[in-house]
Amino acid sequence: MATDIQITTVTGLRRGVYLLVAGIAFVLGMVGVVLPGLPTTPFLLLTSYLLMRSWPTLNERMLRSPFIGSLLRDWHEHRGVRQHMKVRGIVLIVGMLTLSIWLGDFPLPIAGGILACGCVGLAVVMRLPTIAE
């Protein structure tokens, strides 16, 4: 990704910490794809931020990914997400919440916790800046 901003790459122990946190954020982002209430986008943005500073080559590979690359490129270039991605995220969160609560046979406090986490996820997705298409 070509950019006018010069980003300083970290070294030593800080690089190791950045890579560790980037790995954890990436895993949480991927879990968020299927788990209601755990938003994917913020974790992937954090992963990209940390990789830009610790392993820029790996960040470039992530930006070229057919699965998550367009979302990250939109954020880097326009500081937002496309409307259809927001709609898709909202539909997936609502759908997974509905299925989880309906099919889960959870006690009321657990179902309430799942619903609360889903509402947080919805709030995060709805607050993301939108790019005009």
Contact by Cβ (8 Å): 99, 35: no
pLDDT (tens digit per residue) in 97-130: 888 888 888 899 998 988 898 888 888 888 989 9
pTM over 0.75: no
pLDDT band at 1 (very low <50, low <70, confident <90, very high): very low
